[in-house]
Amino acid sequence: MWCFIYRSTKKMGSYLYIEKENDFSPVPEELMKLFGKPVFAMKLYLDDARKLAAATPQEIKQKMAEQGYFLQMLREDDFKI
């Protein structure tokens, strides 16, 4: 499964994964306001063997199937030294 990943201009470390390039229609309007203008980061193929930092490919695919998008945000622990 291919997905398109966009970074937030308002929330550092926040990324939005969507199924279709530049199609933010599944994303709630309120979330888009908080996210800011999406900036394209990359196109990524989600296969089950891929290692990702925030979630497993299976978790991302499940959320995308349920709600049409996946939101990745930095955890507070990511800022600890």
pLDDT in tens, 24-60: 999 999 999 999 999 999 999 999 888 887 889 999 9
pTM value is 0.87
Structural domains in the chain plus CATH codes = 2-17+28-74 (3.10.510.20)
Instruction: State how far the Cα of 59 lies from the Cα of 39, in Å rounded to an integer.
Output: 23
Pairing of strands 15-18, 39-45: unpaired
- One-letter amino acid for residue 38 of the chain: P
Contact 14, 35 (CB under 8 A): yes
Average pLDDT, the chain: 90
- What is residue 21's DSSP assignment? T
**Measured distance CA(32)–CA(39) in Å, rounded:** 12
Stated as kind and residue range, the H or E segment containing 16 is: strand 15-18
